[in-house]
Structure 1
Amino acid sequence: MIEGIKETNFHFPNQTGFYSGKVRDIYFFEDKLAMVATDRISAFDVILPRPIPYKGQVLNQIAQKFLKATSDIVPNWISDAPDPNVSIGLKCDTYAVEMVIRGYLAGHAWREYKEGKRVLCGVALPEGLKENDKLPEPIITPTTKAMEGHDEDISREEILAQGIVPESEYIQLEKYTRALFQRGTEIAAEQGLILVDTKYEFGRFNNEVYLIDEIHTPDSSRYFYKEGYEDRQAAGEKQKQLSKEFVRQWLIENGFQGKEGQQIPTMTDEVVQSISDRYIELYEKVTGEPFEKQSGTNVAERIQKNIKNYLAKH
């Protein structure tokens, strides 16, 4: 098994800054940035100890495909992709919220509901729902965008009261979020999938709202297989899904939920390989295209060379 790329530490001409997130390493320049999708994997806001081969390529190429497929709804930040793991585009001023939208009661929303909560981020939920039930209509449940540590649920009212986003702009973000989710739902349906929930991030450039980061990838979205969904719900069975939830479930089963004092379970070669296989499966299922594995040797060297060549020409 090839080793995934866990981190990068490049230095480019005219570079003005660097930021390492949970998954992406970002190189800043005067008016643009280069975003490197590494093979790091995080769950419960904790970066796990081993990278997942090809995960960064999967995320980067899915995001590029869906940013292109939604550019008629809202402009996005990407301008070029000089490497399978790299996107280059506009350096936007980021809004300090993530716009989470949910069409079904799954994941975090279900865990909150199961504990008896009937209001999530200021949105009331009906009684009598089961895990993975379709909601009466999609709901927006924003979170704060933490530079480190945990993102926290926040309501529309709190966002406006705290002045995190001006009301007129927040209304625009909500409108874009619903339109993007509708488009994502339609694209997923064409591939026999249900887009369960996802998140979008936005920024501003020249006083215009842009869609930033990535969209509709397994790290930011949850998908169910459409075939058999209703039968599984009726029988009270677990849904067959494509998302990062299987990683969270593996951690939960091994006694880890990111809480103080808990130890991350050992990631064997078999576990790493199975996660890599699931990411590739999701790529092929979501895009409807075969995944072409890029060279596994000296990945960091390849990425650095391709960014350097791009910068020299632009």
Structure 2
Amino acid sequence: MTRVLLTGGSGFIAAHTLDVLLDHGHSVVTTVRTQDKADKIKESYKSHVEKGQLDFAVVPDIAQPDAFDQAVVSDPPFEAVLHTASPFHFNVTDVQKDLLDPAVIGTTGILKSIKKNAPTVKQVVITSSFAAIVNPSKGFWPGHEYSEEDWNPMTLEDALKDAVAGYRASKTFAEKAAWEFVEKEKPNFTISTINPPMVYGPIVHPLDSLDNMNTSNQRILAAVQGKFKDEIPISGVHFWVDVRDVAEAHVAAMEKPEAANKRFFVIAGYFSNKEMCQIIKKNFPEFKDLPSDSTPGGDYPEGTPDKGLYKFNNKRSIDVLGLKYKTFEQSIVDTVKSFQKKGL
């Protein structure tokens, strides 16, 4: 059993990561922004709370430099930290202030707090993103194979162009800052980063309404609600992974010594919005407002993933973390079923 601090406990990825940690018998404290969020999680994990396997720490604003100073202190002391929290903003008016600063401060801040106040911590796993790997200027970059060796080359000037650029840069700058911290400060702990692309999968975290859903799953919901009936929107990066595999990756990176000081490109494969709609139609005949086979849009650039599109290498995540990736159909079906449970 490992004593673990899990940040961002009410989030989409963190909720699944909490399930895996508890299933593996670890003792967990998870951070939330408010006591109300803690109370909602408690309702789902009453037995774990009662036997002392799960507790909570309130961290209202992770963008404050000393936000985690108290949260990293525990009795018994923490041995590992899984940092999934990222700054939460409803709207972006200033890319530097709303996206870049909080992402970098949120990541370096927790590393500083661990070094200062939690000397027993030996592993830190950080949720990064494919956004820190992709080179946006290359488009679909046919022939290139993305792997952990790739870094998004965006500059601060690129980042300030708009919110999408700002988001990609925030993930890149935050991850780079983490690796630089370890290199310069030489703390007692190692770090590993988990870099997923689009993350789909069932919702297990408390949601006030379906409108508050994570961004990637909103796409599936929009399809089910009939918003793609006349035209299917473009698919974006065409890379995806199931949230349950991302959760397994975080816990495996903590449990396996050989995962220390490595990045992990956690990716199941290709997808298109068109395929997503076809899967929903096949498995849920009750939804009548889905696109037909002749509805335009949502396909691969050249109709299939093996033409006109970059490739991927997920070998490290399979060899080191032992991941067995779920299929796109399984992920979409389980996601829609979770919507139905939430009262779609």
**TM-score (ref. length: structure 1):** 0.28
Q: Which has the higher helix share?
A: 2
Q: Which has the higher strand share?
A: 1
